[in-house]
Chain A
Amino acid sequence: MSGYIIKRVISAIVTLFLVATLTFFLMYLVPGGPFLSEKAPSQQTLKALEEKYGLDQPIGVQYLNYMKRLIRGDLGTSLKMRGQEVNDIIKTRFPVSAKIGLMAVILAICVGIPLGSVAALNRGNWFDRLIMFLSTLGIAIPGFVVATVLMFFFGVRLRILPTFGLTSPLHYILPVAALALYPTAYISRLMRSSMLDVLGQDYMRTARAKGLSQFKALFKHALRNAVLPVVTYLGPMLAGILTGSFVVEKIFTIPGLGSQFVGSITDRDYPLIMGTTIFLAFLLITMNVIVDIAYKIIDPRIKLK
């Protein structure tokens, strides 16, 4: 077990290192370096800035300095918001996104798992078909479409839900629903197929044959086994919700990290783009490692390599 964990952590560090290196060199492809902006700074200011940030040194030295700063957790300074550290921006913005993202994760799990299980138990009848139809639709519709359509109907047409900012609990409903739709649809499909698989297993027949009630057999045997594939989906789901948050936060003008990231892309604020990318990559890679290890612990049938 510990061998597996060590291996997994090392590979995560390698991946993160690669992402950071790639980020650094991509920064070099941008003409004018990190100080490019609409108001071109004078030759002198540029030189002073370059000296201040060590950009006049050879690329190898710069790379080493950059890596040293990264290891200390310093992501640099924003270009457009003068004097603001990328770290501080992330610190104020990220909790907002994390809150919405977490709500969406919980919603997707709490709705997706029951829907998928009930669909599997009613295989072939109208309920199953309805769930499968809706989830097929939910997977095919891009997040920005879901978010804007929700905003249009509930915010603009019916005027029952607010569509701007995050000041009351009511404000959370639309963004969380928009974020959760795709993972909910995915989980219910995943859950249905794995539940069907489990229901056909010998141990389910044994459980019923030895006199266990339908209820007990379902909750003690079927659900526990069928839920395993959903655990493997947790990693990709986090990535999906993160991607979704870029769009959803932009549409609902939520002051989170997602809308900040999109804004920094529009502003071409390269240090902020790079810093946020590295932070989010770190987050996702760490989560993936945790999910992988958790999966091995939950399912003892999987051999640890």
Chain B
Amino acid sequence: MDNKKKPLSFHLDVSDFLPADEREKQSMVVMRESVSFWKDGFRRLRKNKLAMASLVVIIIIMISAFIVPSFYPYSYEQQIRGSENLGIMEYSDAEIERIKSGEEVFPHILGTDSLGRDLMIRIMVGSKISLLVGIVASAIILVIGSAYGSIAGYFGGKVDMIMMRAVDIIYTVPDILIIILLSVTLKFPLKELADNVKAFAWINTVGIGLISIFVVFSLLYWVGMARIVRGQVLMLKEQEYVVAAKALGASDSRIIKKHLLTNSIGTLIVTTTLQIPSSIFTESFLSFLGLGVSAPMPSLGSLASQAIGGISSYPHRLMAPAIVISLIILSFNLLGDGLRDAFDPRLKN
């Protein structure tokens, strides 16, 4: 048989149809095991140096905020007589005496304030409050927003229209004004509730200021989350696996929980992570105006606010909380961006 192909002919090239040899077969075999969603995401996240550095910073701040205060030699409300207004690493006369007599005195790393309270521990406890506000408020927002958004998106039609109209209205309300207004007024009914109703007595132990911040944030900030989740659900509910689940008789709540929300987990993680710094931002703003957690509990915003009066003599009292709060917000922002690139590349703009 003549295998030679004529230059201008349209005949098929017979060599294309020869059986594959071993080497060619090898190249078709999948060598790598399939990568799961999480593995894939974390692999991408690990490559992002900025995000990893932020994660390290966040972990360090968390350790010093949640663990270190429990064994720190000073407490945030302890007023040390004679040690008022110390500078960085300074000792008071009484403390120098004690050191001379062989006693060990833990240094005031960042000095003390006008009431003789150690600034270092106050900043650590302050960052604990800020982190708590950021994380708890974001968790509440995540729960409310994803439930509301997924129900609106899944049922669609009139339900969606009415639910989203409410969201639109809350969205156009100037949030910061309402937050201030609520923080001013909400403390009274909360106090009454905590004092008179036994079931709510725990409010007093957590602190009324903190609780009212949680309530205020979760009342207003869930709408952004609801909108994003609704968008995801609208897209996902047209997928074949949802139809298949329906055909198999899955209930609506099961489809929402097991299929729609699970599949938008990337978006949920990213949005929640980015919600944390914005909650911390607002909390520090409120504390700065004197509306946040109540004294003697420190917060980074109130520490900075108190330091303004003595800015010319004690600038470090302002700089230290200011740097910590900026660092917290910056790291969470960068980590959130990194998570978005790793887990939800479509969201990137």
* Residues in B neighbouring A142, C-beta threshold 8 A: 281, 284-285, 288, 301, 322, 325-326, 329
Alpha-carbon separation in the docked complex, A242 to B177 (Å): 10
- CB contact between B185 and one of A11, A18, A29, A250 (< 8 Å): that residue: A29
Q: Tell whether, in the assembled complex, residue A144 and residue B301 are in contact, meaning their CB atoms are under 8 Å apart.
A: yes
Tally of contact residues, A, Cβ under 8 A = 48
Q: B308 within 8 Å of A by Cβ?
A: yes
Q: Tell whether, in the assembled complex, residue A144 and residue B189 are in contact, meaning their CB atoms are under 8 Å apart.
A: no
Shortest Cβ distance from A238 into chain B, in angstroms? 10
Alpha-carbon separation in the docked complex, A253 to B9 (Å): 90
Q: Tell whether, in the assembled complex, residue A140 and residue B326 are in contact, meaning their CB atoms are under 8 Å apart.
A: yes
Q: Mark B162-204, 1 if CB is under 8 A from A, else 0.
A: 0000001100111111101110111011000000000000000
Q: Tell whether, in the assembled complex, residue A141 and residue B185 are in contact, meaning their CB atoms are under 8 Å apart.
A: no
Q: Tell whether, in the assembled complex, residue A15 and residue B172 are in contact, meaning their CB atoms are under 8 Å apart.
A: yes
* Residues in B neighbouring A250, C-beta threshold 8 A: 289
Q: A6 within 8 Å of B by Cβ?
A: no
Shortest Cβ distance from B318 into chain A, in angstroms? 6
Alpha-carbon separation in the docked complex, A142 to B279 (Å): 12
- CB contact between A144 and one of B305, B329, B333 (< 8 Å): that residue: B305
**Contact residues, A147-172 vs B (CB, 8 A):** 148-149, 151-152, 156
Tell me whether chain B's interface is mostly helix, strand or loop, or mixed: helix
* Residues in A neighbouring B175, C-beta threshold 8 A: 239
Q: Tell whether, in the assembled complex, residue B176 and residue A141 are in contact, meaning their CB atoms are under 8 Å apart.
A: no
Tally of contact residues, B, Cβ under 8 A = 42
Q: A251-B308, A266-B290 are in contact. Are A144 and B284 (CB under 8 A)?
A: yes
* Residues in A neighbouring B281, C-beta threshold 8 A: 142
Q: A141-B326, A152-B318 are in contact. Are A265 and B169 (CB under 8 A)?
A: no
Shortest Cβ distance from A97 into chain B, in angstroms? 14
Q: Tell whether, in the assembled complex, residue B325 and residue A18 are in contact, meaning their CB atoms are under 8 Å apart.
A: no
- CB contact between A140 and one of B180, B277, B291, B308 (< 8 Å): that residue: B277
Alpha-carbon separation in the docked complex, A288 to B308 (Å): 34
Q: Tell whether, in the assembled complex, residue A144 and residue B288 are in contact, meaning their CB atoms are under 8 Å apart.
A: yes
Q: Tell whether, in the assembled complex, residue B291 and residue A265 are in contact, meaning their CB atoms are under 8 Å apart.
A: yes
* Residues in A neighbouring B305, C-beta threshold 8 A: 144
Shortest Cβ distance from B335 into chain A, in angstroms? 12
Alpha-carbon separation in the docked complex, A22 to B333 (Å): 33
* Residues in B neighbouring A273, C-beta threshold 8 A: 180-181, 184
- Chain A positions near chain B (C-beta within 8 angstroms): 11-12, 14-15, 18-19, 22-23, 26-27, 29-31, 136-137, 139-145, 148-149, 151-152, 156, 193, 239, 242-243, 246-247, 250-251, 262, 265-266, 268, 270, 273-274, 277, 280-281, 284-285, 288
